[in-house]
Amino acid sequence: MCLPGYLPAINGKKMKIQGESLVLAKTEPGNLCFDNVVKGSLTLRSAYVAEKPGGIVYREGSDYIVDYAKGTIARTSNSRIPDYSTNCLYGQKDFNHTNFPSCSNHEWFVWADYQTTNGKIWAKPNDQRKYLADVRKKLEAGGPFRIVSYGDSITAGREASEPDLRFQARFGRYLQALFPKSRIEVIDVSIPGYASRQGLSWFDDKRYMGQIDRADLVIVGWGMNDHNRGSSEPEQYKQNLVAQVRMIRERKSAEVILFSACPPNDNWRCGTHRMAQFAAAAKQAAAEAQCAYVDVYSTWAMVLQRKDQPSLLGNNINHPNDFGHWMYAQAFEAMKF
């Protein structure tokens, strides 16, 4: 299976983008991540994975119009592309998701492949060598290497259409390619729907981290539920993360990577919309706990300079879609260790 991604060229200007997601309403243009699209390079399809059986490849001119200079795509009036204006959350402000039980965006996504002459690498280089030197030694030595992911529903991979498209699975394949002598196993023991305080108090529960006897690396991701109304303050969230790092090292003898979360839909009533503060708290927790940190939030924020949020959120609330999981993986792959 060929998984979408991008291939940056020399100087980081010419780039090939694969599997970028959009939702398109009426005949209004939707932004790609980059402008200056190479004319004739764009294809648009109904499935994230290009060769998926039953997928549709849409036709330029009859299904959509491209502005190559601006990097936008618009449906035609008689397009086969689903009209996002028919989604129940289209145009909703300050919405409560419990009033919209079927608010998924999946049937409206289209996926674009194209080339741009104005690209840039999204995830900033991230030197974590002082925290992950032992991890690298293990990987270089070869043999079994177990990665455990522990966190909320995003960490569990919710809204990824296939298990292999979850960000931690992508990161595992990336490491396997870098360290071919290793035998990498990726296991998730996350707690969807809960926050870092449950991750702390339920740590030894046999359904979660308690079921893991051996781990070499644990990637810990909370924040989305912590940041909701009535949940944690950033300082308490930071303390919970620091405590979890300590417990993982003491009880599992594993190294840890903390990572921040993407922001939820700005129109979602249940969020406090302070994710920048929670991302900063996660970074502070990593510094205090002396462990590695991956800045997903900044990668996502850069993409949102051009993209709309519904084009990236599988449930249009707070879960990344397949392209969003790829963005998470890019932040992980930007680590130098």
pLDDT in tens, 17-73: 999 999 999 999 999 999 999 999 999 999 999 988 999 999 999 999 999 999 999
pLDDT confidence bin for 103, thresholds 50/70/90: confident
Cα–Cα distances (Å) from 169 to 23, 144, 176, 308, 321, in that order, read 25, 16, 10, 26, 14
The answer to whether position 1 is within a domain reads: no
Could you tell me if 47 and 139 lie in one domain? no
User: How many folded domains does the chain comprise?
Assistant: 2
Domain that holds residue 176: 126-336
Judge whether 35 lies within some domain: yes
Q: What is the mean pLDDT of residues 326-337?
A: 97
- Written as six digits, the tokens of 152 are 């909320």
Residue 298's pLDDT band (cuts 50, 70, 90): very high
Q: Could you write out the DSSP letters of every residue in 270-312? A: TB-S-HHHHHHHHHHHHHHHT-EEE-HHHHHHHHTTTS-GGGT
Q: Give residue 333's pLDDT.
A: 97
Q: Is residue 109 part of a domain?
A: yes
Whole-number Cα distances in Å, 239 to 22, 232, 282, 297: 37, 11, 9, 19
For the cut 50, the answer to whether the pLDDT of residue 3 exceeds it is no
Summarize pLDDT for 186-208 with one digit per residue, the tens.
Answer: 999 999 999 999 999 999 999 99
Could you tell me if 64 and 84 lie in one domain?
yes
Beta bridge partners of 54: none
Does residue 121 lie within any of the structural domains?
Answer: no
Q: What is the DSSP letter of 314?
A: S
**Global pTM?**
0.94
Are residues 284 and 140 part of one domain?
Answer: yes
- What is the chain's length? 337
Same domain, yes or no, for 112 and 130?
no
C-alpha neighbours within 13 Å on the C-beta side of residue 147? 23
Predicted confidence (pLDDT) at residue 6 exceeds the cutoff of 50: no
The first and second tokens of residue 23, run together, are 């939702």
Residue 233 scores a pLDDT above 90 = yes
Q: Where are the beta strands (DSSP E) in the chain?
A: 6-8, 15-22, 30-31, 43-45, 57-58, 64-67, 72-75, 110-116, 126-127, 143-151, 182-188, 217-221, 255-259, 292-294, 335-336
Does residue 71 lie within any of the structural domains? yes
Residue 167 placed within a domain: yes
* Average pLDDT score over the chain: 95
- Which percentage of the chain shows pLDDT scores above 90? 93
* Residue range 123-135: mean pLDDT, rounded: 96
For residue 5, pLDDT beyond 70: no
277 with 154, same domain: the answer is yes
pLDDT at 9 over 90: no
| Stretch 144-157: mean pLDDT | 98
Binned at pLDDT 50, 70 and 90, residue 1 comes out as: very low
CATH code for the domain of 304: 3.40.50.1110
Average pLDDT over residues 292-317: 96
